[in-house]
Amino acid sequence: MLLLLAQALFVATPFTPERSFTSGVEGPATDKAGNVFAVSYQRTDTIGRVTPEGKAELWVTMPEGSLGNGIRFTPEGRMFVADYKGHNILEIDPVTRKFTVFAKVPTPFQPNDIALAPDGTLWASDPDWKGGAGQVWRIGKDAKVMKAASMTSTSNGIEVSPNGKYLYVNESGARTVWRFRIGRDGTLSKKKLLIQFPDFGMDGMRADVKGNLYVTRHGKGVVAIVSPKGKVIREVDVLGKMPTNITFGGPDGRTCYVTEVEHGRLVSFRAEFAGR
């Protein structure tokens, strides 16, 4: 802990060796023990586990017909994975490493990234890369799936605000981040543009406890930290041009882990505030 406190804020360093993951590296999520999980470890059909010290290993191979993308852990330790090839939300038992289909998403496209709300609801982005459009799905704790929103561009990164009142969805094609109000019945309303970037793309994003969004800027090689009012607070260089996703972890929740395609690895940096 003392070493973590001494590290400079917002300065990225390599966390895993180069080419330890393929160009499909995505997902990252941390468990209670501080291990980081990401898809495409050495092969695209895998999930790798990285210890807090940065030692990576093959953790599990995906079922035939499935490929993983976004990963989330619940506070109780349940593990969910967006299976974009099989069009499922998979649950993996962290002890037995057995897969079950938690929910079937009725889409011909993804799901891509997933977000976990404080009440246990899952939200999934669903980009139609070929058609240049997208949608958002709500998956309840009872595994019931509901189409929540249609997007005019490719829906990609997705996150819930710390208070559970808002859903953020970004569109890679339009370089926009939208905010929706989450109703008591799970419906989305009051769609509002949070920010539109003038260039480059974007991918996954996560929020800290203050409600700031950490947005991976694909092509620019940074994580943009955006305030709840839509202002860029700072940009963090992540040592490669193609970051795909981000998560928070570490003993105090203030270590950010970023998956990065150009070098096929994870990098990490310290943040001012913990992830939500």
Average pLDDT over residues 61-79: 96
Query: CA nearest 222: which of 205, 198, 206, 238?
Result: 238
**Residue-level pLDDT at 105:** 98
Q: pLDDT of 103-149, one tens digit each?
A: 999 999 999 999 999 999 999 999 999 999 999 999 999 999 999 99
pLDDT of residue 2: 46
CATH topology of domain 2-270: Neuraminidase (2.120.10)
Report d(CA 127, CA 124) in Å as an integer. Answer: 10
Q: Residues for the chain: how many in total?
A: 276
pLDDT tens track for 179-201? 999 999 999 999 999 999 999 99
Going by the DSSP 8-state scheme, the letter that residue 45 receives in this structure is: T
Provide CB contacts within 8 A for 133, sequence distance 6+.
Answer: 127, 150, 151, 152, 153, 154
Q: Does 252 or 1 have the greater pLDDT score?
A: 252
Q: For 217-231, what is the mean pLDDT?
A: 98
Rounded Cα–Cα distance for residues 91 and 100 (Å): 5
Instruction: Provide the residue ranges of all domains of the chain, joining segments of one domain with +.
Output: 2-270
Instruction: For 66-130, give the DSSP string.
Output: --EEEEEE-TT--EEEEETTTTEEEEE-TTT--EEEEEE---SS----EEE-TTS-EEEEEEETT
User: Rounded to two decimals, what is the model's pTM?
Assistant: 0.96
Tell me which residue of 45, 5, 7 sits closest to 26, measured CA to CA. Answer: 45
Predicted confidence at residue 12, as pLDDT, reads 98
* pLDDT score for 5: 52
